[in-house]
Amino acid sequence: MKVQVVQLDPSDDLPSILEKLRWTKTPRVVLVWPEEGRPIGRLLDLVLLQREAQRAGAQLGVASADPVVQEQARRLAIPTFSSAERFPARAWRRTVVRRPMTPARSPSPAEIPERPPHIGGIRWPSWISERAGRLIVLALMALAWVGVAAVIVPSAQVVITPRRVDRSQAMTITIDPEALSPAEGLQVPGMVHFERVAADHRIPSGGTVVVPLTSSRGEMVFTNLGAEAVRIPRGLGIRTLDRENIRFVTTEEADLPARKLSKVSIEVEADQPGSKGNLPAGIRWAVEGELGLYVSAANPNPISGGMDGPRAGVSEDDLKALRELLTAQLFGEALARMLLTLEADQALPRESLRVDRVVSEAFDAEAGDPADSLGLHLELEVSGLSYHPYDLFVAANEHLVSEIPEGWHQVPGSMNLAISGPPEWLDGKRMGLMLQAGHRLYPSVDPGPLRRRLRGLPAEEAGPWLARTLQLEESPYLRIWPPWFPWMPWVETRITLRFPWEAG
């Protein structure tokens, strides 16, 4: 029995292999795997190939040295061959239960039928010799055979191209980790991946803050509250009672004479720079330490000289921008790690990445702090959702086929699919993918009435009649055998109607 061999390439996928099987014309077809690479690897793919072969009326066989492919084929009862050179018939046979044969019984003499009497030769007229009569019989038999052959032998294959219409539809397919198969409607199975990543980054500060530049300076008058001499040391602290957290220190030493209410003037300076140290005259003061019991302080004149000025600092926008920048960097690192773990036919969009948990986040400055730059250490747990693009193709195709109007059919191989927008999360687990799917349709054609009308029709009239009757897009192609035969076959079963995607 004839066997058709289909050689697979490492770049072949399931749709291309199915397309090759649709052109099968023999009762047996063998798919030969390449020496390197595995075009398909799932058991479901092999099931779909077996069903396509059965629809074409052929028995499927597999030739591969890959043990995984051989095991999958055996589970589906598909004949397997280790070599692409020989396909022995015994590998295709199925087990047949043989029944024991009953020994034949010899007939009795009474059961033996009588032989008919001998029939003599035909008597011809006297004017025709026996030799001439035989020639006449042979000629009549030859004419009869020619007539029968003229009716039975001629065959015709007619390839028609019906009018076709394009049909397109926008749809959203849900990627759900809990989905079992693409056959559950407009949803496909997904797989969640996890990665833990960390990094440090620093950016220049983009904000401006006002900071103190110079310290206030002025003259302070100390008064002796007792009758004994008092030494005022350098660095003595004096605090205001009218303003909070403003402190000055003496910049020199001085002695108060040993009489009550004696006075001495000493220069003082604010211990913190900034304009807040500029004070009017007559502020109340408290002298720090034990000397506060023996002397008092006053500023008869205003204290000035403290200045503030702008400089680079950290703003809220700096914190937000650095967090987003470092998160995007960590997403890129997590995506690269996830892609290394994917199967060859899986896809994982960057838009599916999400932060599951912030492990740690530490800025080295806060908003409002003066700083020329801002640094951040960030550690995240990131998750991503992957899917099989072929599952999208299957789900979209099944949806389109389910909505084909009555009386129309899908042109094989016309299905096309394009992603029309970025993925969007529908909830905490599922992600939606916007697609634009399309295919071509052709109207139903009943071959029975057409074959009956075509039989015996002159070949030059058959094509124009078909084009007018079916409103074809282009003239049909007729192939008549033998080529010199001028009519369509008289036996309608010898006329084959095919479409361009079916013709061999």
CA–CA gap between residue 497 and residue 485 (Å, rounded): 18
pLDDT of 355 above 90: yes
Q: Is the pLDDT of residue 118 over 80?
A: no
Give the residue-averaged pLDDT of 270-297: 92
Question: For 464-479, what is the mean pLDDT?
Answer: 90
Work out the average pLDDT over 337-352: 92
What band does 29 get if pLDDT is binned at 50, 70 and 90? confident
- Over range 364-392, report the average pLDDT: 92
For residue 249, what pLDDT is reported?
95
Residue 441 has pLDDT above 90, yes or no: yes
Token code pair at residue 10:
């490492």
- What pLDDT shows up at residue 11? 80
- Mean pLDDT, residues 421-447 taken together: 91
> DSSP string of 171-217?
EEEEEETT---GGGSSEEE-EEEEEEEEEEEEEE--EEEEEEEE--E
CB within 8 A of 453, min separation 6: which ones? 465
Q: Within 10 A of 460 (CB to CB), how many other CB atoms are there?
A: 10
**Is 60 exceeded by the pLDDT of residue 171?**
yes
What value does the mean pLDDT take over residues 112-134? 53
Q: Amino acid identity of 279?
A: L
How much is the pTM?
0.53
DSSP 440-471: EEEE---HHHHHHHHTT-BHHHHHHHHHHHHT
- At 49, the amino acid letter reads L
Min mean pLDDT across 155-159, 169-173, 177-181, 271-275 is at: 177-181
**pLDDT at 433 (0 to 100):** 92
Confidence of residue 459 (pLDDT cuts 50, 70, 90): confident
Q: Are strands 408-410 and 431-443 parallel, antiparallel or unpaired?
A: antiparallel
Tokens 């492919």 belong to residue: 69
Phi-psi region of 435 (alpha: psi -120 to 50; beta: other; left: phi over 0): beta
Query: Exposed/middle/buried for 30, CB within 10 Å: 0-12, 13-18, 19+?
Result: buried
Structure confidence by residue, pLDDT tens digits, 473-482: 888 989 998 8
Does residue 309 register a pLDDT over 90? Answer: no
The encoded tokens of residue 338 equal: 């996830």
Residue 311 has pLDDT above 80, yes or no: yes
- pLDDT for the residue numbered 129: 60
Q: How confident is the model at residue 183 (pLDDT cuts 50, 70, 90)?
A: low
For residue 101, the model assigns a pLDDT of: 42
pLDDT surpassing 50 at residue 302: yes
Which band of pLDDT confidence, cut at 50, 70 and 90, is reported for residue 7? confident
Q: Give the pLDDT score at 99.
A: 40
Q: Quick one: what percent of the chain has pLDDT higher than 70?
A: 87
pLDDT, tens digit, 9 for 90 and up, residues 390-405: 999 999 998 999 999 9
The pLDDT score that the predictor gives to residue 442 is 92
